[in-house]
C-alpha cells in the first residue's frame, strides 16, 4: 500500500494534499510517483458507477468523498522509474510546465493543519518576488540532521530572504533551526538547474542542491509555516496526526478520552 494512501481517520494523505492545491485554484495536478503505486491513480478515478449508486441511495455524505476532482481539473500521472531523489522527481514534470510559469511542489508525507492554507502564503511570496519560496518551521535539535536547514536574514511578516541552505547538517553545524518542509513554490528556471545538478553519493539528484544554485543567482525566500505539521513518514507523526484530527470530531473525541482514561 502506498504510504501516500495511508488515511488520516477516513481520508488518505494524498487527498489532503490535493485539496490543499485545489483550494488555491491550481488547475493541473501532476503526480510523480513509482509505477507500482497504481493505487494512487485508482483513488482519483471518477468511478461513475459508484457515484450513481450513492446518488440513488441519497448518500450525499459518501458522494462528497468520492467526488474529489471536477472535470475542469487536469491530472497527469508520471512514473518516476527509479527513486533518484526529489530533484529527479521534480524534473520529470518539465515538459508540462511553461518556461515563464511557477509551480508548487507538495509532499504528501507532511500533513498540515493550519487556519489558512499554507500554500497561499507561499504563492503570495512567489508572486511578489518572482523567486523560489520555501515553507519552513523550527525543528527540534535532535531532528535537525533530517532536514534541509536555511539561514534566514531578517524576518518580516513571516517571510525572509535566506543566506544559505544546507542539506541535513549535523546539529552543531546547522546555520539555524529552521527546516524546509514539504511545500515549495518554484520557477520553471529550476528545471535547467536540475538538469545540470550532479547526483550525490547515493546517486540521487537533490532539490536542495538546485535551490542552492538559484540562491546564488537570484535569491530564495523562506516563509514560516503558520499551523501544525505532522511528519507522517514516521510512526509518531502518523499516529499524532490521526489523534489530532480525531480530537476535532465530537464523537471521536469522547471515545479517545474514554480510552485514555481507561488505559491510565
pTM over 0.85: yes
Give the pLDDT of residue 55.
87
Could you identify the residue written with the cell 471521536? 252
Distance CA 132, CA 59 (A): 44
**DSSP structure class, residue 171:** G
Domains in the chain, CATH or no CATH each: 3-233 (3.90.550.10)
pLDDT in tens, 51-108: 888 888 988 888 877 777 888 899 999 988 888 999 999 999 999 999 999 999 999 9
Q: What are 165-194's pLDDT values in tens digits?
A: 998 899 999 999 999 999 999 999 999 999
- Cα(174)–Cα(183) distance, integer angstroms: 21
Confidence (pLDDT) at 78: 92
Q: Give how far the C-alpha of residue 136 lies from the chain's centroid of Cα atoms, to the nearest Å.
A: 12
User: How far is residue 211's CA from residue 228's CA, in Å, rounded to a whole number?
Assistant: 25
CA distances from 16 to 5, 82, 108, 161 (A): 10, 26, 8, 29
Amino acid at each position: 500500500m502506498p504510504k501516500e494512501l495511508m488515511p488520516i481517520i477516513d481520508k488518505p494523505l494524498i487527498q489532503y494534499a490535493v485539496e490543499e492545491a485545489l483550494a488555491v485554484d491550481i488547475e493541473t495536478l501532476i503526480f510523480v510517483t513509482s509505477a507500482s503505486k497504481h493505487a494512487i491513480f485508482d483513488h482519483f478515478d471518477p468511478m461513475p458507477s459508484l457515484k450513481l449508486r450513492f446518488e440513488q441511495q441519497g448518500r450525499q455524505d459518501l458522494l462528497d468523498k468520492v467526488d474529489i476532482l471536477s472535470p475542469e481539473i487536469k491530472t497527469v500521472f508520471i512514473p518516476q522509474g527509479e527513486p533518484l531523489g526529489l530533484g529527479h522527481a521534480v524534473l520529470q514534470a518539465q515538459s508540462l510546465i511553461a518556461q515563464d510559469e511557477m509551480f508548487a511542489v507538495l509532499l504528501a508525507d507532511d500533513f498540515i493543519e493550519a487556519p489558512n492554507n499554507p500554500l497561499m502564503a507561499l504563492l503570495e511570496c512567489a508572486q511578489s518576488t518572482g523567486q523560489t519560496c520555501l515553507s519552513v518551521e523550527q525543528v527540534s535539535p535532535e531532528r535537525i540532521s533530517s532536514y534541509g536547514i536555511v539561514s534566514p536574514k531578517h524576518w518580516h511578516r513571516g517571510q525572509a530572504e535566506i543566506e544559505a541552505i544546507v542539506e541535513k547538517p549535523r546539529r552543531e553545524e546547522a546555520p539555524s533551526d529552521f527546516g524546509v518542509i514539504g511545500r515549495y513554490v518554484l520557477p520553471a528556471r529550476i528545471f535547467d538547474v536540475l538538469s545540470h545538478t550532479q547526483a550525490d553519493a547515493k546517486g540521487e539528484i537533490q532539490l536542495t542542491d538546485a535551490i542552492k544554485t538559484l540562491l546564488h543567482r537570484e535569491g530564495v525566500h523562506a516563509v514560516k509555516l503558520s499551523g501544525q505539521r505532522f511528519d507522517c513518514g514516521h510512526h509518531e507523526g502518523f499516529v499524532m496526526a490521526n489523534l489530532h484530527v480525531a480530537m476535532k470530531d465530537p464523537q471521536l473525541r469522547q471515545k479517545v478520552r474514554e480510552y485514555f482514561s481507561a488505559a491510565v
